[in-house]
Amino acid sequence: MATTNLVLQTDSTAEAMEGLIQAKASSRATTVRGWFRVLFLYDVAEAIRLDQVRSILGAQPGWRKPSLTRPVPDYVRLEPAPAVEPIDEVALETAERLKGRINYYEYGVVSVELVREFACTWEQLVGLASAWIGDQRLEMQSVNLAKRRLERATTALVKPTENWLSEDYFVVQLCETEDPDGGSAIASELLARHGHEISQVVRGESAALSGAEQEEILQSNTSYTPTDLLVVGWTGALVYDTTEGAVDTIQLLEYANTQLLEFRYYDNLLTRVLKGVYAALERKRVSSRAGGWREKRSD
C-alpha cells in the first residue's frame, strides 16, 4: 500500500511540475504591447500666462474636461485648460527616438512627457521598466527641452523660479496582452497570472519582491470593467485599457502629480515664512531680556 501511495504521489508531483513548466513557458511567450510614458514635472514660476505661451510657442489649448469614456460628475474639469505643445522626436545616444509633448499649467508647472513604444514578454518588460525608470538620459533630455522652450517664452512667466522643484512619474500603458487562449486578458486573470511582474513594473524593480510587498502594491488596483486595470504606486503606475480609456487615466495621473508638486512648493514657502517668524520672535525675546537686564542695573 505504501508503494502505491508513493507511485501516486510521484505521478501527481510530475503532473504538477509539468503544469508549472507549461505555465512559465506560457508566461514567457505572452507578448505585451504598449507604451512607456515618463512624466517630468517642474515648478518654474508662480504663474504662467497661457495666452502668451500659445502665441510665442504655438501651443494649443489642452483638455479642459477630460473626454472621459465613463460616467463621471460634471465638476471633473480643469480650469483653465493647460497649453499643450507637441515636441519633435527626441533622439537618444542609443539611436532611439521618443515622441512627446509639453503641457503648461497656469499655476506655474510645466510637464514634459516622453513616450517610447514596446513589444516584449512580461519578463522583458520588468527589465525594461527598471532600466527606463533609472535612465538619467531621459531626465537630461526633459530638463533641456523645458529650458529651451522657456528661454523663448520668458515674458510668459510670472516671478520665475531660479531653482526648479521637480517630480517624475512613470506610466506603463498596456494596450494589448493575450490570455493563453489568444483573447484579450481579463483584469482578474492578469493579476492572478502576472501579479508579481506587475508589482515589479510599478516599483521599477528588476529583483523579485516579497509576497507581502507584492500584496501591498496590488492592493491599489482598481477596474471599471472586466478588461481594464489600474495599479497605482508612488513612483509609477500600470494602466491596462483601451487607447481612449488610458488617455483619460494618464491625464488625471499627470494632474495629480502637478498638485503634489504644488504642495511641495507651498510647503517650502511656509517653511521659509515660519523660519523668518521664529527668527523675529527670538530677536524680540533676546531684546526683551537685554532691556530687563539694563533696567535692573539702573536700579
Residues 199/125, Cβ–Cβ less than 8 Å: no
How much of the chain exceeds pLDDT 70, in percent? 77
Q: Report if residue 106 sits inside a domain.
A: yes
Q: Would you state the cell numbers that stand for residue 37, as one nine-digit string?
A: 510614458
Q: Report if residue 172 sits inside a domain.
A: yes
The per-residue pLDDT for 13 is 40
The one-letter amino acid at 8: L
Q: Which domain holds residue 184?
A: 27-264
Residues 30/122, Cβ–Cβ less than 8 Å: yes
Residue 65 has phi, psi (to 5 degrees) of: -130, 120
Q: Report if residue 269 sits inside a domain.
A: no
Q: Report if residue 82 sits inside a domain.
A: yes
Distance CA 271, CA 135 (A): 32
Distance CA 152, CA 89 (A): 19
The per-residue pLDDT for 245 is 85
Q: Report if residue 235 sits inside a domain.
A: yes
The per-residue pLDDT for 29 is 58
Domains in the chain, number: 1
Which pTM was predicted? Answer: 0.77
Q: Report if residue 279 sits inside a domain.
A: no
Q: Report if residue 285 sits inside a domain.
A: no
The per-residue pLDDT for 111 is 96
In the predicted model, residues of the chain with pLDDT beneath 70 are: 1-29, 62-79, 93-95, 178-183, 289-299
Q: Report if residue 45 sits inside a domain.
A: yes
